């Protein structure tokens, strides 16, 4: 009589021999399962701290770029002591293994001498203008680098080696803003974003060119300018270009200097010889003296006295229109302005 498979028989002997081994195998493997679980938890925890570290390093770089002043601000709430954050030494982006900027920036039109130097040459005349070594347009040359530092004990298995969290975050340096250029331009220009940056990029000022003759003329010019600035009657000249009556009425102050230069055809011209300036610009029949004194020396014929008086007449007429539009019209102001206009017209009438 055959025995069933479920009964004790030689066929069931291996099964009978393994009865009770499963709990033993679980006990033997539980250690490794717990270690694996601890490693998973440690990895997730440290990975999140690495993300926080990168955020802290990025914040440390951006809060310190000019004209920001947050370099001394306290650390964010999720990055507390003993964690640290700040700026590391500037570095070249081209030294980074993942630099993609240099691959684009160092080719084609972006490498022109007018942008990158060291000098700009005129192909027709061979004249050369040296460039200052400011490296304003070297995007890969230097970057501000934010850094964060933290040693973090693992949440599980704390006796293992501590995690070292030291991320770096490079940010393009701030050479594009006029605030960063002003300190290096010798006080010339860079007062607003509309000022010319050529003073910082190119060497064309007298003290940069090494030309003793030009430097001598520059010193003479500075001395003459200083004498004008120290003139005791300089306040009486304010009316010639900075009169304060015009701006409140939406009109620019008339500039008699610019008017004389434009009328004499000198606008945009340059001359380094004082002798040529005196003969060609000042003393010639259509020079500056003609537009100051007039053809016959009396200030008429659209010379500065006649022109400036007319500017004030235009201003007073605009003021009269305003006071006439009031309800009721301000007749006292109107009469005063009309009297001023009559005086100016009489003044124009006596000009030759």
151-172 pLDDT, tens digit each: 988 888 888 888 899 998 888 7
**Of 173, 190, 214, which marks where a domain is finished?**
173
Q: Is residue 30 part of a domain?
A: yes
Q: Is residue 135 part of a domain?
A: no
Q: Are residues 261 and 346 in the same domain?
A: yes
Q: Are residues 168 and 270 in the same domain?
A: no
Q: Are residues 29 and 167 in the same domain?
A: yes
Residue 320's pLDDT is: 94
Q: Is residue 316 part of a domain?
A: yes
Give CA–CA dist 66/70, Å, rounded.
10
Q: Does the structure show a pLDDT above 70 at 42?
A: yes
Residue 193's pLDDT is: 67
> Per residue in 97-143, pLDDT tens?
777 778 888 888 888 888 888 888 988 888 888 888 777 777 777 77
Q: Are residues 261 and 152 in the same domain?
A: no
Select the more confidently predicted residue: 183 or 83. Answer: 83
Token pair in block for residue 198: 């050529």
Q: Are residues 265 and 157 in the same domain?
A: no
Residue 317's pLDDT is: 95
Give CA–CA dist 54/146, Å, rounded.
9
Q: Are residues 164 and 245 in the same domain?
A: no
Average confidence score pLDDT of the chain:
81
Q: Does the structure show a pLDDT above 90 at 144?
A: no
Res. 11 pLDDT band, cuts 50 70 90: low
Give the dihedral of Cα atoms 212, 217, 221, 222; nearest 10 deg.
10
Res. 44 pLDDT band, cuts 50 70 90: very high
Q: Is residue 159 part of a domain?
A: yes
Structural domain that includes position 322: 241-350
Residue 343's pLDDT is: 94
Residue 202's pLDDT is: 83
Phi first, then psi: give them for residue 147, nearest 5 degrees. -135, 155
Give CA–CA dist 131/197, Å, rounded.
12
Phi first, then psi: give them for residue 54, nearest 5 degrees. -65, -40
Q: Are residues 167 and 246 in the same domain?
A: no
Q: Are residues 33 and 168 in the same domain?
A: yes
Mean pLDDT comparison of 20-34, 188-202, 262-276, highest-scoring range: 20-34
Residue 78's pLDDT is: 83
Q: Is residue 335 part of a domain?
A: yes
Select the more confidently predicted residue: 58 or 280. Answer: 58
Helix axes 256-263, 304-324, angle to 10 degrees: 130
3-class SS string, the chain: CCCCCCCCCHHHHHHHHHCCHHHHHHHHHHHHHHHHHHHHHHHHHHHHHHHHHHHHHHHHHHCCCCCCCHHHCCCCCCCCCCCEEEEEEEECHHHCCCCCHHHHHCCHHHHCHHHHCCEEECCCCCCEEEECCCCCCCCCCCEEEEEEEEEECCCCCCCCCCEEECCEEEEECCCCCHHHHHCCCCCCCCCCCCCCCHHHHECCCHHHHCCHHHHHHHHHHHHHHHHHHCCCCHHHHHHHCCCCCCHHHCCCCCCHHHHHHHHCCCCCCCCCCHHHHHHHHHCCCCCHHHHHHCCCCCCCCCCHHHHHHHHHHHHHHHHHHHHHCCCCCCHHHHHHHHHHHHHHHHHHHHCC
Of 181, 183, 145, 141, the residue nearest 166 (C-alpha): 145
Alpha carbons within 13 angstroms on the beta-carbon side of residue 11 total 6
Q: Does the structure show a pLDDT above 60 at 6?
A: no
Q: Are residues 162 and 255 in the same domain?
A: no
Number of structural domains, the chain? Answer: 2
Mean pLDDT of 212-230: 87
Res. 177 pLDDT band, cuts 50 70 90: low
Sign of CA dihedral 56, 62, 67, 68: negative
pTM: 0.47
Q: Are residues 153 and 67 in the same domain?
A: yes
Q: Does the structure show a pLDDT above 80 at 216?
A: yes
Q: Is residue 51 part of a domain?
A: yes
Q: Is residue 62 part of a domain?
A: yes
Q: Are residues 153 and 284 in the same domain?
A: no
Mean pLDDT of 254-259: 89
**Of 173, 207, 229, which marks where a domain is finished?**
173
Residue 337's pLDDT is: 94
Select the more confidently predicted residue: 134 or 74. Answer: 74
Give CA–CA dist 37/52, Å, rounded.
23
Residue 50's pLDDT is: 93
CA distances from 251 to 45, 239, 257, 303, 324 (A): 66, 14, 17, 21, 19
Q: Does the structure show a pLDDT above 90 at 260?
A: no
- Please tell me whether the peptide bond between 328 and the residue prior to it is cis, using omega within 30 degrees of 0: yes
Mean pLDDT of 37-59: 92
Mean pLDDT of 225-231: 87
Mean pLDDT of 73-102: 82
Q: Does the structure show a pLDDT above 90 at 198?
A: no
Specify the residue for token string 């004498």.
227
Mean pLDDT of 76-105: 81
Phi first, then psi: give them for residue 45, nearest 5 degrees. -65, -50
Q: Are residues 250 and 157 in the same domain?
A: no
**Of 156, 173, 190, which marks where a domain is finished?**
173
Q: Is residue 191 part of a domain?
A: no
Q: Does the structure show a pLDDT above 70 at 328?
A: yes
């Amino acid at each position: 009589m055959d025995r069933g498979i479920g009964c004790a028989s030689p066929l069931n002997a291996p099964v009978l021999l393994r009865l009770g081994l499963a709990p033993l195998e679980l006990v033997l493997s539980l250690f490794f399962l717990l270690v694996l679980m601890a490693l998973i938890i440690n990895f997730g925890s440290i990975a999140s701290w690495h993300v926080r570290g990168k955020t802290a390093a990025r914040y440390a770089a951006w809060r310190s770029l000019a004209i920001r002043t947050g370099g001394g601000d306290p650390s964010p709430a999720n990055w507390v002591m003993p964690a640290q954050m700040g700026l590391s030494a500037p570095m070249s982006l081209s030294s980074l293994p993942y630099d993609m900027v240099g691959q684009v920036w160092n080719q084609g039109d972006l490498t022109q001498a007018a942008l990158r130097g060291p000098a700009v040459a005129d192909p027709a005349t061979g004249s050369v203008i040296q460039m200052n070594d400011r490296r304003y347009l070297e995007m890969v040359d230097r970057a501000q680098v934010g850094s964060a530092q933290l040693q973090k004990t693992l949440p599980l298995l704390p006796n293992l080696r501590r995690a070292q969290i030291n991320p770096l975050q490079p940010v393009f340096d701030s050479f594009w803003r006029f605030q960063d250029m002003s300190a290096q331009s010798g006080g010339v220009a860079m007062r607003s974003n509309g000022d010319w940056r050529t003073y910082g990029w190119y060497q064309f000022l007298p003290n940069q060119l090494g030309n003793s003759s030009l430097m001598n003329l520059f010193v003479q010019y500075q001395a003459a300018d200083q004498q004008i600035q120290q003139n005791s009657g300089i306040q009486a000249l304010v009316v010639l270009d900075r009169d304060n009556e015009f701006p409140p009425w939406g009109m620019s102050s008339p500039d008699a200097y610019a008017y004389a230069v434009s009328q004499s055809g000198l606008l945009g011209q340059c001359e380094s010889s004082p002798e040529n300036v005196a003969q060609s610009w000042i003393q010639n029949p259509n020079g500056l003296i003609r537009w100051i004194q007039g053809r016959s020396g009396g200030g008429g014929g659209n010379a500065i006295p006649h022109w400036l008086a007319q500017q004030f007449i235009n201003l007073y007429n605009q003021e009269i229109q305003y006071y006439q539009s009031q309800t009721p019209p301000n007749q006292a102001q109107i009469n005063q302005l009309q009297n001023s206009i009559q005086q100016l017209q009489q003044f124009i009438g006596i000009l030759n």
